[in-house]
């Protein structure tokens, strides 16, 4: 079953009390005003393959070693 998103949202809204409907409306308005930030993946493709495989391996090893450590005094 493939229900369009807008229909699904409306169905969910109808089941909510009015105060929650207002919250959804405010959230939707905030999303509509927000701007997408960052760089598109298409623009970053020119960098693909620019890191040597040996460096990538070193990075992977550093991440694995660092992520396996727990610093109990961190907090």
Interval 27-74: pLDDT, tens = 999 999 998 888 989 999 999 999 999 999 999 998 888 776 677 777
Whether 13 is in a domain gets the answer yes
For residue 21, is it within any domain? Answer: yes
Cα torsion 74, 63, 58, 51 to 10°: value is -120
Is 26 domain-assigned?
Answer: yes
Considering the domain boundaries, does residue 67 fall inside one? no
What's the pLDDT at 54? Answer: 95
The answer to whether residue 51 is domain-embedded is no
| 57 assigned to some structural domain | no
Is residue 23 a part of any domain in this protein? Answer: yes
Q: What is the pTM of this model?
A: 0.47
Number of domains in the chain: 1
Q: How far apart are CA 52 and CA 57, in angstroms?
A: 9
Q: Tell me, yes or no, whether 4 lies in a domain.
A: yes
Q: Which domain holds residue 19?
A: 1-32
């Amino acid at each position: 079953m493939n229900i369009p998103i807008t229909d699904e949202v409306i169905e969910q809204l109808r089941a909510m009390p009015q105060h929650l409907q207002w919250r959804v409306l405010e959230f939707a308005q905030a999303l509509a005003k927000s701007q997408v930030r960052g760089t598109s993946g298409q623009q970053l493709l020119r960098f693909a393959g620019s890191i040597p495989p040996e460096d990538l391996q070193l990075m992977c090893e550093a991440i694995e070693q660092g992520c396996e450590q727990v610093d109990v005094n961190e907090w």
